[in-house]
Amino acid sequence: MELGILTLLPPLVIIAVALKTKNTTSSLFIGAILGCILQFRTKFLAGFIDMMYAIGTNEDTIWYVMFVALFGCILGIWSRTGATSELAKKLGKYATNRKRTLLLTWIIGALVFIDDFTSIAVRGTMTKLYDKNKTPRAMLSYITDATASPLNTLIVFGTWGIYYQSVFSGYEEVNALGNSMSVYLRTIPWQFYSWVAIVIALFVSIGLVKPAGKMKSIFKHAEETGELYSEASGILNTETANTQETNKGLSNKLIAGFVIPLIAFIAIIVINGDVITASLVTLALMITMFLVLRVSSWKELMDACIAGVGDMLGMIVVVFAAYMVRDSLNAIGLPEYVISVAKPFMSPPLLPSITFIVVSILTFTTGSNWGVSLPVAAIVIPLCAAINANMYLVLAAIVSGAAFGAHACFYCDVTVFTSGMTKIDNMEHALSQLPYCLAGLVISAVMFLVSGFII
């Protein structure tokens, strides 16, 4: 479908409506409807309904809903039995002030590196710790997000590494350089956005980089009023704080009910890479432990599961709408248009930086951190070999652009999952971290440009 510059209209409308209304879901549905109008014209309503059916039965959607629902059960049990509060009390012995709390968030991200969703979920248990140390919730969301996908891209056996190895291995030009793992390993030093995002988050954690943009105003508001999140985020934080001291026996049982299942969860992912299996086994282990240890009754655990799933419904709706936008933009030819505009400017020195910028734009506008990099790879990998550009730089640029989109796009599933886990309004999270994301984007683009000329 040849729509040219009109393909940019839906993402621009989505961003404008989101900024105006501060509501992610409505902006996404408006963007999806607009995409259907461009694609189907007068039959856009039938096309919109067909797209809803297609998204609802898509395996990516089913996987996401299953994972979020299962992890909602896990978080529901942890939260409503008091295990999360007890963990916060234990961590509070080490994170005694704001700086230590921020640094602990960063360190946990570095330790739980195997999967971005797992890393985010673990940090989501730290909300009470942030509240205790009078630290705005937006900062927890930012550091969590910045050390999730960006860090995971640097792990050759992480979910991102495994995915992109499978993508790159489909090209003869890449296979000529060696096996997929060795090639991916050689791209890691050049994945500039991931490195820059992680370092900026570290500098923020230790105070070398001060709050900027909306984050600065959030900190100022917190100091003046004591409010650590906006009114929009308040409905996500309706639990009554648990200030009662827990007896030592119960405390140990609650900590065991948190730590042992979490270790099992991570171990299963390391062994077979399947978060659904890990979630099911972990949930079964948790229920068994809490029953055997007589922490909760069967009814209390089932109620906690249902409540936990309910907490995730908003997140599921946003991601469903984001998937509709993704498919709509792909159908009207947005990736092809952006690539066609950039292609005439591609040369050996410029190819890495242009590739990074194009993938960044596409992932940010479509919310698809993996999918939209595929059409770019199909063009730039053969082109890279044909004009004798540096293949490792170009491959790293593809991954880095996707990492930026996963981090910065306010309706990407990773960003939505982060705001859901840290119990903050999605737009509050996305806008408060945007200055750091854009700084990383500019620095990385310059690094790719310079590297393209000197390597």
For the chain, the distance separating the N- and C-terminal CA atoms, rounded to the nearest angstrom, is: 38
So what's the pLDDT on residue 240?
53
| Lowest-pLDDT range of 4-13, 225-234, 336-345, 356-365 | 336-345
pLDDT tens digits for range 382-435 = 888 888 889 999 999 999 999 999 999 888 888 988 998 898 999 999 999 999
The torsion defined by the Cα of 166, 168, 174 and 175, in degrees rounded to 10, comes to 10
> In which element (H, E) is residue 288 found?
helix 275-292
Q: Report the distance separating Cα 328 and Cα 10, nearest Å.
A: 9
Mean pLDDT of the 152-172 span: 81
């990773």: which residue's tokens?
A: 414
The 10 Å Cβ neighbour count of residue 94 is: 11
Average pLDDT, the chain: 87
Does residue 178 come out as left (phi exceeding 0), alpha (psi in the -120 to 50 range) or beta? left
- The C-alpha atoms of residue 289 and residue 260 are separated, in whole angstroms, by 9
* Domain positions in the chain: 59-454
CB atoms within 10 A of CB 98: 17
245 Cβ partners below 8 Å, 6+ apart?
none
DSSP class of residue 293 equals T
Q: Rounded distance, CA 284 to CA 219, Å?
A: 41
Grade residue 246 by pLDDT with cuts at 50, 70 and 90.
low
